[in-house]
């Protein structure tokens, strides 16, 4: 890595992104994807060496976060770490591990792996050791990396890539610890492709983004499947169909492919039902994304459930129905249960569901109302903290009536809130639901103001025996007088635990409001994923257990309301003539503005017509009418938080009705007649086409004087013949079978460019008809696939490093059906730190479905010396082929390799974190403790925070002496917690359990200085504030507090700097964290009476809980984050993270006299007038005066 002494003053945020927040959140267990094909970086961010004593001999056992085990019995016990990586479905891979840094431990005896647990098995169990291996001079393991065969996660081909970050040499008793490595997956041979669904499920993409290190969304709508749902019915369902058809018809109108099957077909056992679901998943054109079990787990109408064997409770759960691939907890479908015991209850559930979605109760504004219930009397204060976290999340997203119930009497307050009308009802407490029971639900009068009820605590979801509370919520009421809830999540058994319940609960609502999960099934899956993310080691199988125990009662495809419903204005023809093969639809909102992304479906009969698509940015979509049969067709428009539009149009038989014959047109591109081409029957750029379009008289009377004109294709079609006279066309007859339209296609058209033409047909009586003719082009389609760096041939590392000049080679792939010849390319970048010396490249030939590299004419670039390593810059290439095809492509390139002595970030807003180990950066802080505790001669004022133990967590609001901008928002107050965090503004949350940031859990916005469960003490452990007026900074010190878990001493402080005196490009205040005594020891306890561990969390989170910069969580550090200890410091700042350049005061991208005059006016008047002081401080001395005027003049004059 090239070391630097000054930070780049001009850094672009839009086109350059370093490994910021994604280092932890998209990083899977230490892995991060880097630019290039099948490449990853691995960083061992923490490990421990445990002592294990057996028969008086002490062995060592390496332990890492997220670690598994590959050792066989008797071999050295070394952990492995695994991630998922998206790959080609028809390739097999080997793995290459290039160790980039390591350290050694001498004289160490690694524990041989045993088959028994030393704490529980009999003493006489034989100790096993592989003597041959332990007396060998060979290293163990032989291979550091392993890669699996290609397999499928829902619809994504992936491999599991594993690394063992340790090498043990038994004979010499030495252990090499691999702290970082570059990993490449190498294609070795073609294999039979794994079978995957043909198209992608939109519902599952957030799961992919969380777990698959290199996943990127598709930009092609054609890659996605239709929404699909499968209903599993009881064997005696014939008398249920009248009610079920109401639900099925509604789902189908909404665009779902709806299938249903009874257990008389699948078989009555859970395994046979799962086999049917698995077959549907693997073989259907539109595999089910949702599966709804219609029936109770027992009784007259039953669908069996599963019972887990990981706990002594053997709790029920439907989650195994969704686990169709592999042995993990991740679902391949989203599951729910419509539980009922009578036909009336089923009718009630269906009417609730359909009315809730299609015709919501609009007489009162209850769509911004919710109720958060937290009973701390048994389960602890975290139940209230969880509810407060969800409340703040809702309020950030527009809720203005979030009610809270934290004290007795609970049942009466809960009933009152539910009767008032809520979109969400959330309970966190303990077994018995604080006295709230089925009787309270059945006494409700909330009508159609139906919430989603999440009651995630003991016994609320034990639906296999008796009627669970979650079932009562959904069954309550009658079809015409509903009450209760439209869907409910409950938890099975009486053995649940608070920390895991909290994680599922917060994850559910994070999914709803942040990840924009639209359905109840998707939100619950997100809740379970949150459990997985926060407890990745699956302690005592609790992740498996609580994933199994939490179940949805209700339709998993239920579209949830999270805002006041808006109304559509939908414009379309009320009738079309039979034979018309399209209908245009325009969707507008209440203000007549176009609605993009509305899902429009037309449906006629038994799928005689069934077409769906999304509106474009203009609110328009054209759908194919695939049948000429007359009659009515439904037209339905959906979008989140819009009342569905339910319209119709008629297909009318007319006495005279002429239109094209669907799909019967022919293309002639030979060298005969008027055509000129390659005679392949496909439209290629540069060809002259004879296009014959037969027309048909669908009417009962003859059409006279028929005339046709072909319209469209402006800009790339030149017509020779665009009009034809047909004459008389008799009823039931086809015409124009031998008269072609003739046109020339412009050269350089790209593969699959669609150009819909319209055929206008008229007769002598003035009647007119139109058809859409959908044509596509055969051509080239080029894109940049890989980038290669040729740097110094002796000392180079095939990576573009800061300060380095290198040749750039781009691999261009052609996915078109035509050969691309003589391609020239111009390389450019918007990133100011990358200079393009030679911007011209050349590729002589690229065959179809092949690639080429510009080896004969390479690009050349220079990377500025002061670029922060790890910065990813987008390269853009304009390509032109000899046939005139012009297209642009882009590809990222990484500059430098981020290491521990580089800054962390930026996040998506622009914050960096510099620690005192970043010694080569001028922004790096140094530890300079400001003691403010009066017991140690400080001048601080004690805050009234008392936290002496379990459930005594505290928070207080403090006025700031200056306005502090944080993530672009100004604040005059902060809330200080006894648990080591600060929230901007005022909050009553007291969060003591720490989580990943950004994400659900804790208040937002947040500054996590040392977020952990901490205690004040009577002997000096207190929290203080002090305004350092001389240095314009405000200090909060957590002085000599203790961790709840291990009673470790913590002494740390937060320093907020006044942005009027410490300038940043964005105007946000700088944040300094200092640690005098740092003991990160909260490991937790996951036996009975669990204690939340995860060590501490340090970092920033914005007000939306979606943007942040995490320095450490669970004792896992980002690649460029120095592990903390006593006397360390971190500075969070936006310096170095913005495109703005010092001196460009008016921010027009130029340094000129206007900037000088603006600066003179400021210096003379001290009136900023919106001036950014960072830009005005040209010489960076944090004082704006005449010296800055001199500096800017020197810059302009170039001396």
Q: Is the pLDDT of residue 167 over 50?
A: yes
Confidence at residue 1091, expressed as pLDDT on a 0 to 100 scale: 47
Q: Which long-range contacts (C-beta less than 8 Å, at least 24 apart) are formed by 509-512? A: 509/390, 509/393, 509/394, 509/424, 509/426, 509/454, 509/1000, 510/393, 510/999, 510/1000, 510/1105, 511/206, 512/424, 512/560, 512/562
Question: Do 863 and 831 touch, CB atoms closer than 8 A?
Answer: no
597-612 mean pLDDT? 96
Question: Do 1130 and 1123 touch, CB atoms closer than 8 A?
Answer: no
Angle between helices 1186-1197 and 1153-1165 (to 10 degrees): 180
Q: In this structure, is residue 1167 part of a structural domain? A: yes
Distance (Å, rounded) from C-alpha 535 to C-alpha 518? 25
Let me know whether 610 and 673 are in one domain.
no
- Residues facing residue 1110 across a β-bridge: 1099
Confidence at residue 18, expressed as pLDDT on a 0 to 100 scale: 33
First vs last Cα of the chain: how many Å apart? 31
Confidence at residue 69, expressed as pLDDT on a 0 to 100 scale: 59
Question: Do 205 and 218 touch, CB atoms closer than 8 A?
Answer: no
Dig out the tokens for 671 from the structure: 């060298």
The vertex-838 CA angle with 750 and 1196, nearest 5°, equals 115
Q: For 5-49, where are the alpha helices, taking DSSP H only?
A: 22-25
Q: Is the pLDDT of residue 1090 over 50?
A: no
Task: State the maximum Cα–Cα separation within the chain, in Å, rounded to a whole number.
Answer: 107
| Other Cβ atoms within 10 Å of 87 Cβ, number | 22
Over residues 1054-1072, the pLDDT tens digits come to 999 999 899 888 899 999 9
Name the DSSP class of 581. Answer: -
Which residues lie below 8 Å from residue 1112, measured CB to CB, with a gap of 6+?
1080, 1095, 1096, 1097, 1098, 1099, 1118, 1121, 1123, 1124
Let me know whether 348 and 205 are in one domain.
no
216-238 mean pLDDT? 90
Cα separation values, 340 from 264, 350, 460, 490, 1111, Å: 19, 11, 16, 16, 49
Q: Is the pLDDT of residue 1084 over 60?
A: no
Distance (Å, rounded) from C-alpha 305 to C-alpha 299? 13
320-340 mean pLDDT? 91
- Please give the residue that has the higher pLDDT: either 1187 or 1128: 1128
Instruction: Find, among 1044, 1003, 1011, the residue nearest to 1113 by Cα.
Output: 1011
β 228-233/290-294 pair status? parallel
Q: Is the pLDDT of residue 842 over 70?
A: yes
Cα separation values, 6 from 865, 921, 923, 924, 1091, Å: 9, 6, 8, 10, 45
Distance (Å, rounded) from C-alpha 745 to C-alpha 536? 57
pLDDT grade for 21, boundaries at 50, 70 and 90: very low
Classify burial at 353, counting beta carbons within 10 Å of its beta carbon; exposed 0-12, middle 13-18, buried 19 or more: buried
Cα separation values, 1037 from 854, 934, 992, 1029, 1073, Å: 59, 11, 17, 16, 10
Question: Do 1062 and 973 touch, CB atoms closer than 8 A?
Answer: no
Q: Is the pLDDT of residue 1007 over 50?
A: yes
Confidence at residue 10, expressed as pLDDT on a 0 to 100 scale: 24
Q: In this structure, is residue 1140 part of a structural domain? A: no
Distance of CA 48 to the CA centre of its chain: 31
SS3 assignment, position 390: helix
Write a three-state SS string for 1131-1164.
EEECCCCCCCCCCCCCCCCCCCHHHHHHHHHHHH
Let me know whether 662 and 597 are in one domain.
no
Question: Do 905 and 1109 touch, CB atoms closer than 8 A?
Answer: yes
DSSP per-residue string spanning 897-960:
---TTS-B---SS--EEEETT-TTSTT----------GGGT---EE------STT---EEEEEE
Over residues 46-94, the pLDDT tens digits come to 677 878 888 888 888 887 754 555 667 788 988 877 778 899 888 899 9
Confidence at residue 286, expressed as pLDDT on a 0 to 100 scale: 94
Q: Is the pLDDT of residue 122 over 60?
A: no
pLDDT grade for 117, boundaries at 50, 70 and 90: very low
Confidence at residue 535, expressed as pLDDT on a 0 to 100 scale: 64
Over residues 876-896, the pLDDT tens digits come to 999 999 888 889 999 989 888
Distance (Å, rounded) from C-alpha 45 to C-alpha 1120? 10
Let me know whether 639 and 727 are in one domain.
no
Q: Is the pLDDT of residue 40 over 70?
A: yes
Q: In this structure, is residue 939 part of a structural domain? A: yes
Please state, rounded to an integer, the average pLDDT across all residues of the chain. 87
Above pLDDT 70, what percent of the chain?
Answer: 91
Instruction: Find, among 584, 597, 592, 593, the residue nearest to 635 by Cα.
Output: 584
Confidence at residue 555, expressed as pLDDT on a 0 to 100 scale: 99
Distance (Å, rounded) from C-alpha 333 to C-alpha 490? 19
| Other Cβ atoms within 10 Å of 618 Cβ, number | 11
Q: Which of 296-310, 404-418, 1010-1024 has the lowest mean pLDDT?
A: 1010-1024
Last residue of a domain, one of 694, 722, 744: 744
Instruction: Find, among 308, 302, 315, the residue nearest to 268 by Cα.
Output: 302
Torsion of CA 728, 730, 732, 733, to 10 degrees: -50
Q: Is the pLDDT of residue 118 over 70?
A: no
Distance (Å, rounded) from C-alpha 584 to C-alpha 580? 11
1131-1158 mean pLDDT? 73
Let me know whether 629 and 680 are in one domain.
no
Torsion of CA 550, 552, 553, 558, to 10 degrees: 170
Let me know whether 431 and 305 are in one domain.
yes
Confidence at residue 569, expressed as pLDDT on a 0 to 100 scale: 97
Q: In this structure, is residue 106 part of a structural domain? A: yes
Question: Do 93 and 188 touch, CB atoms closer than 8 A?
Answer: yes
Confidence at residue 1189, expressed as pLDDT on a 0 to 100 scale: 80
Q: Is the pLDDT of residue 238 over 80?
A: yes
Let me know whether 118 and 234 are in one domain.
no
Distance (Å, rounded) from C-alpha 787 to C-alpha 800? 11
Q: In this structure, is residue 164 part of a structural domain? A: yes
Dig out the tokens for 940 from the structure: 């601080």
Question: Could you list the residue range(s) of the whole structural domain that residue 579 is in?
Answer: 569-652
Q: In this structure, is residue 842 part of a structural domain? A: no
Confidence at residue 77, expressed as pLDDT on a 0 to 100 scale: 87
Query: Which residue, chain included where needed, has tokens 């994807």?
Result: 33
Q: In this structure, is residue 756 part of a structural domain? A: no
Which residues lie below 8 Å from residue 529, measured CB to CB, with a gap of 6+?
207, 210, 330, 507
Q: Provide the domain count of the chain.
A: 6
Domain CATH number, residue 462: 3.40.50.1460
**pTM exceeds 0.75 for this model:** no
Let me know whether 332 and 450 are in one domain.
yes
Query: Which residue, chain included where needed, has tokens 């290439």?
Result: 877
Q: Which of 276-285, 424-433, 1006-1015, 1134-1143 has the lowest mean pLDDT?
A: 1134-1143
Last residue of a domain, one of 509, 525, 553: 553
821-833 mean pLDDT? 91
Let me know whether 984 and 1118 are in one domain.
yes
Instruction: Find, among 780, 777, 784, 790, the residue nearest to 825 by Cα.
Output: 784
pLDDT grade for 25, boundaries at 50, 70 and 90: very low
Confidence at residue 1199, expressed as pLDDT on a 0 to 100 scale: 67
Question: Do 983 and 989 touch, CB atoms closer than 8 A?
Answer: yes
Distance (Å, rounded) from C-alpha 1023 to C-alpha 1014? 11
- Please give the residue that has the higher pLDDT: either 220 or 315: 315
Selection from 9-18, 663-672, 943-952, 1169-1178 with the highest mean pLDDT: 663-672
pLDDT grade for 6, boundaries at 50, 70 and 90: very low
DSSP per-residue string spanning 630-667:
-EEEEEEEE-TTBPPEEEEEEEE--SS-EEEPTT--EE
Question: Do 463 and 470 touch, CB atoms closer than 8 A?
Answer: yes
Let me know whether 377 and 486 are in one domain.
yes
Dig out the tokens for 1187 from the structure: 């010296």
922-944 mean pLDDT? 93
Domain CATH number, residue 583: 2.60.40.1930
- Please give the residue that has the higher pLDDT: either 540 or 587: 587
Let me know whether 1026 and 1098 are in one domain.
yes
- Residues facing residue 845 across a β-bridge: 821
Over residues 134-165, the pLDDT tens digits come to 888 889 998 889 888 887 778 888 887 888 99
pLDDT grade for 537, boundaries at 50, 70 and 90: low
Q: In this structure, is residue 1 part of a structural domain? A: no
Which residues lie below 8 Å from residue 1019, measured CB to CB, with a gap of 6+?
none
Over residues 641-697, the pLDDT tens digits come to 999 999 999 999 989 999 998 878 899 999 999 999 989 888 888 899 999 999 999
**Which runs of E-coded beta strand occur in 128-256?**
145-147, 151-153, 156-163, 166-169, 174-190, 228-233
Let me know whether 481 and 599 are in one domain.
no
Dig out the tokens for 645 from the structure: 């539009």
Instruction: Find, among 514, 539, 538, 537, the residue nearest to 526 by Cα.
Output: 514
SS3 assignment, position 1111: strand
Last residue of a domain, one of 211, 238, 256: 211
């Amino acid at each position: 890595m090239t070391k630097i002494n000054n930070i780049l003053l001009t850094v672009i945020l839009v086109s350059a992104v370093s490994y910021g927040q994604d280092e932890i959140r998209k990083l899977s267990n230490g892995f991060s994807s880097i630019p290039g094909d099948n490449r990853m970086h691995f960083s061992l961010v923490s490990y421990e060496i445990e002592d294990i004593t057996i028969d008086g001999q002490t062995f060592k056992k390496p332990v890492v976060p997220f670690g598994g085990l590959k050792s066989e019995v008797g071999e050295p016990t070394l952990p492995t770490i695994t991630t998922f990586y998206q790959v080609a479905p028809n390739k097999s891979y080997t793995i290459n591990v290039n160790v980039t840094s390591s350290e050694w431990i001498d004289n160490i005896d690694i524990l041989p792996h045993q088959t028994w647990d030393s704490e529980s098995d009999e003493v006489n169990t034989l100790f096993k050791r592989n003597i041959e291996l332990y007396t060998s001079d060979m290293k163990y393991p032989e291979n550091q990396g392993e890669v699996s065969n290609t397999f499928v996660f829902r619809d994504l081909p992936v491999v599991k890539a594993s690394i063992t970050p340790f090498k043990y040499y038994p004979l010499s008793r030495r252990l090499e610890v691999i702290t970082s490595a570059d990993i490449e997956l190498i294609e070795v041979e073609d294999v039979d492709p794994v079978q995957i669904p043909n198209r992608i499920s939109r519902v599952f993409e957030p799961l992919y983004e969380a777990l698959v290190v290199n996943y990127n969304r598709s930009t092609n709508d054609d890659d996605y499947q239709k929404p699909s749902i499968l209903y599993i019915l009881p064997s005696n369902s014939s008398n249920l169909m009248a009610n079920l058809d109401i639900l099925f018809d509604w789902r189908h109108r909404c665009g779902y492919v709806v299938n249903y099957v009874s257990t008389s077909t699948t078989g009555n056992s859970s395994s046979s039902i799962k086999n049917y679901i698995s077959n549907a998943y693997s073989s259907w054109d539109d595999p089910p994304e949702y599966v709804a079990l219609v029936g109770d787990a027992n009784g007259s109408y039953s669908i069996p459930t599963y019972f887990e064997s990981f706990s002594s409770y053997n709790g029920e759960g439907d989650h195994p129905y969704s686990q169709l691939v592999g042995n993990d907890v991740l679902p391949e479908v989203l599951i729910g249960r419509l539980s009922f015991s009578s036909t009336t209850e089923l009718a009630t559930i269906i009417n609730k569901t359909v009315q809730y979605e299609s015709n919501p109760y609009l007489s009162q504004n209850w769509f911004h109302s919710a109720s958060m219930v937290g009973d701390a009397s048994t389960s602890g204060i975290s139940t209230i903290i969880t509810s407060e976290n969800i409340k703040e999340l809702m309020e950030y997203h527009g809720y203005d009536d979030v009610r809270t119930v934290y004290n007795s009497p609970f049942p009466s307050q809960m009933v009152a809130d539910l009767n008032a009308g809520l979109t969400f009802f959330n309970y966190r407490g303990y077994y018995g639901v604080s006295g709230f029971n089925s009787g309270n639900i059945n006494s409700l009068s909330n009508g159609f103001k139906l919430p989603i009820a999440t009651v995630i605590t003991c016994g609320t979801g034990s639906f296999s025996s008796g009627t669970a509370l979650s079932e009562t919520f959904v069954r309550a009421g009658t079809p015409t007088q509903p009450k209760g809830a439209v869907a409910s999540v409950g938890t099975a058994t009486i053995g649940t635990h608070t920390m895991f319940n909290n994680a599922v609960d917060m994850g559910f609502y994070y999914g709803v409001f942040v990840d924009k999960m639209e359905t109840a099934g998707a939100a619950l899956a997100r809740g379970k994923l949150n459990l997985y993310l926060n407890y990745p080691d699956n302690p005592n199988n609790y992740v498996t257990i609580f994933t199994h125990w939490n179940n949805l009662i209700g339709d998993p495809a239920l579209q949830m309301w999270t805002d006041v419903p808006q109304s559509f204005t939908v414009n379309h023809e009320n009738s079309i003539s039979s034979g018309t093969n399209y209908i245009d639809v325009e969707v507008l909102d209440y203000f007549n503005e176009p609605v993009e992304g509305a899902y429009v479906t037309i449906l006629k009969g038994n799928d005689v017509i069934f077409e769906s698509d999304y509106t474009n940015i203009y609110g328009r979509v054209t759908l194919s009418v695939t049948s000429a049969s007359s009659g009515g067709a439904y037209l339905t428009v959906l979008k989140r938080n819009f009342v569905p539009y339910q319209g119709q149009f008629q297909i009318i038989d007319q006495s005279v009705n002429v239109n094209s014959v669907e799909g019967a047109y022919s293309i002639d591109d030979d060298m005969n007649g008027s055509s000129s081409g390659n005679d392949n029957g496909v439209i290629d750029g540069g060809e002259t086409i004879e296009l014959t379009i037969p027309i048909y008289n669908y009417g009962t009377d003859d059409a006279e004087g028929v005339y046709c004109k072909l319209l469209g294709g402006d800009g790339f079609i030149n017509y020779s013949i665009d009009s034809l006279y047909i004459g008389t066309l008799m009823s039931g007859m086809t015409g124009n079978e031998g008269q072609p339209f003739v046109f020339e296609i412009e050269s350089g058209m790209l593969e699959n460019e669609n150009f819909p033409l319209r055929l206008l047909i008229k007769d002598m009586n003035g009647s007119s008809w139109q058809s859409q003719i959908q044509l596509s082009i055969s051509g080239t389609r080029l894109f940049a696939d890989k980038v290669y760096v040729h740097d110094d041939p002796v000392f180079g590392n095939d990576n573009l490093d800061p300060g380095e000049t290198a040749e750039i080679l781009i691999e261009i792939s052609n996915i078109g059906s035509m050969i691309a010849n003589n391609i020239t390319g111009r390389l450019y970048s918007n990133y100011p730190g990358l200079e393009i010396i030679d911007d011209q490249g050349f590729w002589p030939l690229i065959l179809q479905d092949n690639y080429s590299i510009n080896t004969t004419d390479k690009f050349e670039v220079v990377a500025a010396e002061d670029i922060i390593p790890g910065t990813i810059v987008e390269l853009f290439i304009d390509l032109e082929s000899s046939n005139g095809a012009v297209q642009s492509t882009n590809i990222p390139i990484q500059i430098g390799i981020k290491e521990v002595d580089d800054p962390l970030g930026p996040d998506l807003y622009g914050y960096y974190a510099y620690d005192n180990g970043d010694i080569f950066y001028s922004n790096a802080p140094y530890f300079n403790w400001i003691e403010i505790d009066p017991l140690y001669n400080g001048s601080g004022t004690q805050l009234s925070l008392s936290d002496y133990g379990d459930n005594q967590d505290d928070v207080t609001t403090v006025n700031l002496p200056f306005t502090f901008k944080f993530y672009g928002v100004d604040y005059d107050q902060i809330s200080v917690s006894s648990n080591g965090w600060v929230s901007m503004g005022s909050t009553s949350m007291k969060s003591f359990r720490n989580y990943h940031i950004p994400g659900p859990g804790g208040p937002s916005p947040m500054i996590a200085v040392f977020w952990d469960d901490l205690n004040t003490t009577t002997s000096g452990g207190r929290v203080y504030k002090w305004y350092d007026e001389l240095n314009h900074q405000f200090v909060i010190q957590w002085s000599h507090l203790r961790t709840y878990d291990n009673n470790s001493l913590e002494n740390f402080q937060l320093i907020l700097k006044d942005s009027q005196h410490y300038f940043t490009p964005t105007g946000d205040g700088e944040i300094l964290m200092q640690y005098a005594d740092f003991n990160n020891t909260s490991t937790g306890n996951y036996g009975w009476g669990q204690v939340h561990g995860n060590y501490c969390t340090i970092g920033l989170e914005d007000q939306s809980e979606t943007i942040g910069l995490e320095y450490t969580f669970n004792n896992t550090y980002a690649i460029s984050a120095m592990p903390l200890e006593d006397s360390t410091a971190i500075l969070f700042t936006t310096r170095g993270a913005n495109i703005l350049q010092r001196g460009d005061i008016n921010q027009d991208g130029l340094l000129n006299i206007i900037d000088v005059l603006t600066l003179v006016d400021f210096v003379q008047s001290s009136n900023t007038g919106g001036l950014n002081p960072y830009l005005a401080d040209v010489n960076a001395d944090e004082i704006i005066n005449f010296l800055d005027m001199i500096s800017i003049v020197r810059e302009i004059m170039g001396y």
